[in-house]
Amino acid sequence: MINYGSRSAEVWWQQNKGALSRMEKLTVLRISSEDCNALSALANRTMRLQCTVQDSQVWITDGERTAHIEPVKREA
C-alpha cells in the first residue's frame, strides 16, 4: 500500500495504522509531496513509463524525463 501527500496522508496513517499493523504481509510506503510532484510531471494522456527499483530507490522515466523517488516504510 502506498500512502502519499502531506497532511491528509498523515491523518489517514494516524487513523489506520493500528488496524493495518495487524496485517502480517502488508507494507505501507510513504511518498513525499516532492516525490509526488516529480511523478505528476511525467503524467500525460499517452504516457509510457519505465520503472527501475534498486536499494529502496525508484527511478521512473518517460524516455525524456526521470523522476527519482525514495519511498519510506511506515512503522506502526
| Domains of the chain in sequence order | 2-73 (3.10.640.10)
**pLDDT tens figures, 19-43:** 998 998 999 898 888 999 999 999 9
CA dist 69 → 20, 37, 76 (Å): 24, 10, 22
Set of cell numbers at residue 22 = 495487524
Torsion, Cα 6 12 18 21, to 10 degrees, reads -60
Set of cell numbers at residue 64 = 525524456
The pTM is what? 0.73
